[in-house]
Amino acid sequence: MHALGDFSLTVVNGGNFRLDGGAMHGVVPKTLWSKLVSCDDQNRCEYATNCLYVEGRGVRMLIETGNGDKLSPRQKEVFGIDHDRAVAGALTEAGIDPASIDLVVLSHLHFDHVGGATVRKGNAIVPVFPRARHVVQKREWQAAMAPHERNRASYLQENLGPLREAGLLDLVDGEAELAPGVRVLPTPGHTPGHQSVLIDGGGQRALFCGDVAPTSVHVRLPYIMAYDLDVEATLESKRGLWQRAIAEDWLCVFGHDCACHAARLGLDASGQPAVTATENL
């Protein structure tokens, strides 16, 4: 737990999974990334689904919901998921009742971010956070509803329809204030409608990066995932965020880093953005 002015921030892990190390590091060759991250015999690196619980100023908010537990045995095998853990259980373990959450923010709608927002109940799929409005960029919703060959495997329709049918979707268009001190910032690149979340607790600020920078390794500007649809847009999103993060000493929270929940940034000897201090929340 981290106190950020009027807010408390807690990371709850919705469960680990594994992704191809080459895809995760884009054009960076394995000879370089393998010095920073280890991988298994199938070249997969292990990642967390760090969801951020934020409480304060009368709001109980969850940023991201992880993979959930609706994936098929085949999908679980491909993504190296050997557990039934989901974010609802992780919240309960931390003493937080999922039914009490009133705001869910999704950086984008890939399954590893939205999967934990719904659960199977008999033959139906129902929301896990029945009181919460679920905030996503309108542009992201439109992309997820009309997936193409390059992103279809990431936008699982079973994660999306049940939220809309329950009337829980809140589509925003561009930068928006969701609650006093909580703003979403469009940070396109990974997907066109990707957003990050800036929390201002009164003098102290934290940023939930989302997949602009899934881990602390990705703070380096050239480290951009091959999954990203528009890598130059990611580069500019990241450059813009880091300028502000360094100038205003933001605590940057990473959604997929197993070892490092959050970091403060500065410039290294060659003038490039780099991690200067880390913190677990």
Residue 228 within binding range of Zn ion, rule CB under 5 A: no
What burial class does residue 152 get, using C-beta atoms within 10 Å of its C-beta: 0-12 exposed, 13-18 middle, 19+ buried? Answer: exposed
Tell me which stretch binds Zn ion (CB under 5 A): 135-143, 147-155, 204-212, 260-268. Answer: 204-212
Distance CA 47, CA 26 (A): 16
Residue 112 within binding range of Zn ion, rule CB under 5 A: yes
Residue 140 within binding range of Zn ion, rule CB under 5 A: no
Cβ 208 to Zn ion shortest distance, Å: 12
CA dist 111 to 59, 65, 102, 158, Å?
25, 9, 21, 10
Q: Output 6 or 211, the one with its CB closest to Zn ion.
A: 211
Tell me which stretch binds Zn ion (CB under 5 A): 9-17, 112-120, 148-156, 230-238. Answer: 112-120
Q: Output 200 or 237, the one with its CB closest to Zn ion.
A: 237
The answer to whether the beta carbons of residues 250 and 207 sit under 8 Å apart is yes
Tell me which stretch binds Zn ion (CB under 5 A): 75-83, 90-98, 105-113, 200-208. Answer: 105-113
Cβ 67 to Zn ion shortest distance, Å: 9
Cβ 19 to Zn ion shortest distance, Å: 8
Q: Is the dihedral of CA 180, 53, 3, 186 positive or negative?
A: negative
Cβ 112 to Zn ion shortest distance, Å: 4
Q: Which of 211, 218, 223, 245 binds Zn ion (CB under 5 A)?
A: 211
Cβ 154 to Zn ion shortest distance, Å: 8
Q: Output 211 or 257, the one with its CB closest to Zn ion.
A: 211
DSSP string for residues in 147-185: --TTTTTT--GGGTHHHHHTT-EEEE-SSEEEETTEEEE
Angle CA(106)–CA(110)–CA(111) in degrees, nearest 5? 100
Tell me which stretch binds Zn ion (CB under 5 A): 25-33, 80-88, 165-173, 206-214. Answer: 206-214
Distance CA 29, CA 63 (A): 32
The phi, psi pair for 167, rounded to 5°, reads: 70, 25
Q: Output 4 or 212, the one with its CB closest to Zn ion.
A: 212
Tell me which stretch binds Zn ion (CB under 5 A): 64-72, 110-118, 193-201, 231-239. Answer: 110-118
Q: Output 4 or 197, the one with its CB closest to Zn ion.
A: 197
Q: Tell me the number of residues near Zn ion by CB under 5 A.
A: 2
Cβ 132 to Zn ion shortest distance, Å: 20
Q: Is the dihedral of CA 241, 243, 247, 250 positive or negative?
A: positive
The answer to whether the beta carbons of residues 198 and 254 sit under 8 Å apart is no
Cβ 128 to Zn ion shortest distance, Å: 18
Instruction: Compute the radius of gyration of the chain from its Cα atoms.
Output: 17
Q: Which residues are near Zn ion by CB under 5 A?
A: 112, 211
